[in-house]
Amino acid sequence: MNRPSGAEISLAAVDLGASSGRVMLGRVAPGRIELTEVNRFRNGAVRLPDGLYWDILGLYQDILAGLRDAHQQAPGLAGIGIDTWAVDYGLISDQPGAGGALIGNPRNYRDPRTEPVIDTVHRHVAPHELYAVNGLQHLPFNTLYQFAAEPDLTGRQALLIPDLLGYWLTGNRVAEQTNASTTGLLNATTGDWDRPLIEKLGLPAGLLPPVVAPGHVVGELTAAVRADTGIGRAIPVTTVGSHDTASAVVGVPAENENFAYISCGTWGLVGVELDAPVLTQDSRAANFTNERGIDGTIRYLRNVMGLWILSETLRTWKLQGVKGTLQGRLEEAARVPAGGPVFDPDGPEFLAPGDMPARIAAACRNNGQPIPTTPGEIVRCILDSLAITFAARIDDAQRLSGRRIDVVHIVGGGARNTLLCQLIADACGRPVVAGPVESTALGNILVQARTHGILRGDRWELRRHLRTATTTRTYRPAAALVADRP
């Protein structure tokens, strides 16, 4: 797809997070990126008697509606890219004549179904052997554990969520590399499926489709999709960093390699960008993960529970009839003196939905710390705990990777939280550059624009383009003064 460099192009980014989804329209030309939110829709776990699921059919209908609106706003719409959360998948029938039929709604990664099978997996392949191959942080919901919890995988193919949506849009099945790297079945060094590991785990040979890199043309919209959306012409769907964190890292406006990033939303992904994986035992002991980024890079990072704890706290208060807004709670938290109680946000008790204030109280009580009681104290406790944990993970990333970290970039929804940004700067002793908030959608659009030939160059050239078109805010350690950079 060669277009003249310097032209303008309109592209749709389908960006699904764990709590909401949206279709964004990006208009790109050198030195300019304009993002418009076309359609936003809810997402979240659906609890049924047998566990937690995603409403994938509802999401697909919302995406079609968003693409319809995007095309109406930009009749010259040239392409579509999809990014979502990681690890989860849909099973489709691979039996002759079944036509790729979906077999049930995909499970939600917060479902506890993997707990009984983790030891079974480790009896086949020990944890240190797994890490030597896939380089992944141990998380109970990694895809290989979910596969072990499936009653039967015979005659089925697994498509990760962005690949499943891409299949429904184009009729073609692929496994985009950045998301495939979260399954635990991708070789961290080669970037392809590790066949010996797949065989050791007894998984069917045809379970996984071929791996493709970001920037691959999956296919054009099918006739049925064009009819459903009113799009009367062929539009390609191309792969981007389909793991939303991979797209978010593209959207980090760093100037050189000596940076750490925090992609902060439901999860806080804290790490550095490397050229090769770190597969040492020290890295495994620190529970760092090696996931793929664009251009063959490695996202070397730790998952931290993130603002999920805050959003669940607010949801609990709402259910209990406790009135108050997020902004009001943050203002109350800012008035709480420093040095209060903290807890480990990565504790397993904070993974599942539920009464977070009660869990925080229990964690503080068990650690012999004062129990926060007012909403302001509880929110301050959450933010202090996250800031301290983020700072510790940044120091770990520098120590384990050997990459010097001079500046921390925070992107995503957490970049709006001025109190959190200042607390992170104070905790890590480095400047924190906040923004862009829409880094994931921007990263999605940038990779699409390069695939279409509107932009040229490597990831640094994409970031240079990003810096000319966005605004950030810098927080200095132990100081309230902030500076805006155009």
Alpha-carbon span 281 to 264, nearest angstrom: 27
CATH number of 252-435+456-486: 3.30.420.40
Under DSSP, the state recorded for 49 is: T
Confidence of residue 4 (pLDDT cuts 50, 70, 90): low
Average pLDDT of the chain is 95
Radius of gyration of the chain (CA): 22
392 pLDDT more than 50: yes
- pLDDT given for residue 485 in this prediction: 34
Phi, psi of 447 (to 5 degrees): -65, -40
- Residues 32-54 have pLDDT tens digits of 999 999 999 999 999 999 999 99
User: What are the C-alpha distances in Å from 11 to residues 22, 245, 368, 411, 446?
Assistant: 14, 19, 53, 21, 10
Q: Are the beta carbons of 471 and 485 closer than 8 angstroms?
A: yes
Confidence of residue 361 (pLDDT cuts 50, 70, 90): very high
User: What are the C-alpha distances in Å from 115 to residues 96, 104, 140, 147, 280?
Assistant: 34, 21, 7, 12, 26
- Residues 208-248 have pLDDT tens digits of 999 999 999 999 999 999 999 999 999 999 999 999 999 99
457 pLDDT more than 50: yes
Pairing type for strands 432-434 and 407-411 reads parallel
Select which of 83, 163, 194, 244 is catalytic: 244
- pLDDT given for residue 5 in this prediction: 55
146 CB burial (10 A radius; 0-12, 13-18, 19+): buried
Q: What average pLDDT does the segment 142-161 reach?
A: 96
Tell me if residue 244 is catalytic: yes
- Residues 167-194 have pLDDT tens digits of 999 999 999 999 999 999 999 999 999 9
- pLDDT given for residue 255 in this prediction: 96
Domain over 9-244 is classified CATH 3.40.50.970: no
- pLDDT given for residue 224 in this prediction: 96
Q: What average pLDDT does the segment 295-308 reach?
A: 96
Confidence of residue 30 (pLDDT cuts 50, 70, 90): confident
What stretch(es) of the chain map to CATH 3.30.420.40?
9-244, 252-435+456-486
The tokens describing 416, both together, are 């709006």
The tokens describing 352, both together, are 């599942």
Confidence of residue 398 (pLDDT cuts 50, 70, 90): very high
The tokens describing 410, both together, are 């925070």
Among 94-103, 424-433, 454-463, the least confident range: 94-103
Which residue type, as a one-letter code, is found at position 408? V
Nearest residue to 331 via CA among 293, 370, 380: 380
Among 257-266, 399-408, 477-486, the least confident range: 477-486
